Amino acid sequence: MNENGSNNAEKSEAVKPPAVDEMPVPKIKHDWYQTESHVIITVLIKNQKAENVKVNFTEKTVSVTAPLPSGSEYSLELDVCHPINPELSSFKVVPSKVEVKMKKVDGIHWKALEGDGAEPTVKPAPGDPTKKDFAPAYPSSASKKHDWNKIEADIKAEEENEKLEGDAALNQLFQKIYGQGSDETRRAMNKSFMESGGTVLSTNWKEVASDKVDVKPPDGMEYKKWNQ
């Protein structure tokens, strides 16, 4: 009987039901984007009540906690890479997510959400914009790069050295005088040209300032208005 009782005890221990595994904590995704003034974090946790969600801000941290259906608690702790203004930061709860809105202290573009915000030190490459000999490089499908500043200077030099004849040379001369002249020179040229119907072009403001400039057609020609 003692032997049978011992066997029954062993069988009782052998059929002990296995322990039930705990329910795994679901993974909650979060993402972020930014505007000029704010950084917004979206936590994809559904069907939360606003009174159950807690969000705490400091100048360099933000934390989000919320209860989960499993009975556990969701927690997000972030060390943000740039300072934020806790007093002007906020959050809201909607059926599909929790949205955390952080106010930037400095209106700069964040390269990342977390970290110290320091930019990596990069050794200036040849042609760096901080150097005086830097020339901008424009996108091109050509295999050979061009120095556009030099090309522009060469074109201007060609235009200045180009030998024009007749009316073209005269017009170029007048344009140069007008462009390099004083305000009085420009006023004199405008007044004499307009009042004389294009037959007189004076650069002396004192001569043309007081009286109307008469029409003076070339020798052997008669001036007529266009409607005559």
State the CATH class of domain 30-104: mainly beta
In this predicted structure, what is the pLDDT of residue 24?
57
pLDDT under 70: residue ranges of the chain? 1-26, 117-148, 156-170, 172-173, 198, 217-228
In this predicted structure, what is the pLDDT of residue 21?
52
Any bridge partners for residue 94, and if so which?
Answer: 97
* 121 burial level (CB within 10 Å; 0-12, 13-18, 19+): exposed
Where do the CATH 2.60.40.790 domains begin and end in the chain? 30-104
What is this structure's pTM? 0.43
- pLDDT tens digits, one per residue of 25-39: 567 899 999 999 999
Q: What are phi and psi of 47, to 5 degrees?
A: 55, 45
H or E element that contains 14: helix 2-14
In this predicted structure, what is the pLDDT of residue 12?
44
- pLDDT tens digits, one per residue of 176-190: 777 777 888 878 888
Distance (Å, rounded) from C-alpha 173 to C-alpha 184?
A: 18
